[in-house]
Structure 1
Amino acid sequence: MQKVLGIAGWSGSGKTTLIGALLPLLAARGLTVSVIKHSHHDIELDVAGKDSQRHRASGAHEVMVVSPYRFGLFAETPQALTLEQQLSRLAAVDLVLLEGQKTLPVPRIEVHRSACAKPWLYPDDPFVIALASDCAAETDLPQLPLDDHAAIADFIANWLKDSA
């Protein structure tokens, strides 16, 4: 299985913003990184009326749209994909970041923003390996300033090297 690191926190804590800032920093360190973004809601990735959507609506098991620059794969699923199924759809990379999916048993960095007024996850989550926050916590876990993206990228790169 590929190396997986969760980026977990409450809605509005800054997970997406943090990942967006980390990706170029990790790439600059020579790492290839993919992201799996979880949504609790139904999502529509295709465009109504387009051929690919019409093929799906007509019963195609999967529809792949290909251009010279990217591709997209649309598939209906009878149930949520397991982490192994999600990872099997991705090309091999150095690291896969999971945004959300905070109940999966994978190491994760907790993103915490005091303005969200939500409780910390780490006291009840044995998979949290570090905190990225705008405030301090009472713990021995590594604590990284939420706005110090380079320090967080360094932590991830070192964690990846140490866990190899």
Structure 2
Amino acid sequence: MRLYGITGWKNAGKTGLVERLVTEITGRGLTVSTVKHAHHSFDVDQPGRDSHRHRTAGATEVLLASGARWALMHELRGAEEPALDDLLTRLSPVDLVLIEGYKHARHPKIEAWRAETGHPLIAPGDSSIRAVAADAPLDLDRPVFELDDTSAIADFILREVGL
């Protein structure tokens, strides 16, 4: 599978950019999946639901299925967080996987950056960041796109991965 990442600091616009890219790229007839790294605990389940009851009873995995979708929840129960490469093996084949977060992984990435956050750019010290999508002009040694120029960013990513 072809991979491309969107990285950046908190509130840099990563999720909005990924959302727009999924819409843009699937609109071109390609299949896309996403992986989102969360630095905090999260839960896709709700207390009181049967699946939640299964997990709290001690199940390692709970697969919830309906006619519209299915979801597999895996409890780590103190085990180490799986590596990105291990998680990618669980995805069904698609044309492109967009990865949000995972700043330190070595796959190619675009950095989302907003001036108002006050965070420094990651790109100057990271060769895996191939371009920056920013809300202000930048002078860098790699392409810089307007943060909202989804079409141009999608063109760049698809060229980079050979699609």
> Common fold, TM-score beyond 0.5?
yes
User: 1:124 offset after TM fit, Å?
Assistant: 1.0
- Within a 5 Å distance, the mapping from 1:8-157 to structure 2 comes to 8-77=7-76, 78-157=79-158
Cα distance in 2 for residues equivalent to 1:161 and 1:28: 17
SS in 2 for 1:154: helix
Cross-structure match for 2:2: 3
Cα distance in 1 for residues equivalent to 2:111 and 2:91: 24
User: 1:140 offset after TM fit, Å?
Assistant: 2.2
Give percent identity, aligned residues only.
42
Task: State the AA in 1 paired with 2:45.
Answer: D
Cα distance in 2 for residues equivalent to 1:19 and 1:114: 19
Structure 2 unmatched ranges of 5 or more:
none
Q: CA offsets, 1:59-84, max 9 Å, x none?
A: 21211000000011111111111112
SS in 2 for 1:42: coil
User: 1:94 offset after TM fit, Å?
Assistant: 1.1
Cα distance in 2 for residues equivalent to 1:22 and 1:84: 22
User: 1:137 offset after TM fit, Å?
Assistant: 2.2
Cα distance in 2 for residues equivalent to 1:38 and 1:27: 22
Cα distance in 2 for residues equivalent to 1:129 and 1:11: 19
Query: How many residue pairs are counted as aligned between the two chains?
Result: 161
- Alignment check: 8 A CA contact 2:36 2:99 kept: yes
SS in 1 for 2:71: strand
Let me know the Cα RMSD of the aligned residues. 1.2
Task: State the AA in 1 paired with 2:151.
Answer: A
Cα distance in 2 for residues equivalent to 1:53 and 1:117: 39
Cα distance in 2 for residues equivalent to 1:160 and 1:105: 15
Moved over 4 A (4+): none
Cα distance in 2 for residues equivalent to 1:91 and 1:127: 25
Q: CA offsets, 1:114-162, max 9 Å, x none?
A: 1111101011111100111112222220111111111111111111217
